Amino acid sequence: MSAMAAAIEKKLQAIFAPQTLIVRDVSAGHAGHAGARPGGQTHFEVEITASHFNDLSRVAAHRAVMGELSEEFSGTLHALNIKAKGVG
């Protein structure tokens, strides 16, 4: 697991206490694209299931996740594909 993937996972675990959380570094598939860097760790996919998202729209759930990762976005994180679901 890359350092950025570990940081994303740690932060989302602490904030949302998810039932499921999968963080994938997909940077290699974006080599040469905007925001890609030689060391990777720029493009990620997150699948998260947590009760926090139960009453949120898809846009609100995405905003919640993105807001918690603002520090990472100010660093090397460039793109994040989010699949957020509520419990039940």
Calpha distance 48→37 (Å, rounded)? 26
The pLDDT score that the predictor gives to residue 39 is 59
Mean pLDDT by 10 residues, the chain (88 residues): 90 97 82 59 91 96 95 87 94
- 58 with 84: CB under 8 angstroms? yes
Domain residue extents for the chain? 3-10+18-85
Calpha distance 50→81 (Å, rounded)? 17
- Where b means 16+ CB within 10 Å and e means fewer, 2-41 reads bebbebbbeebeeebebeebebebebeebeeeeebeeebb
Q: What is the CATH number of domain 3-10+18-85?
A: 3.30.300.90
Question: What's the predicted TM-score (pTM) here?
Answer: 0.85
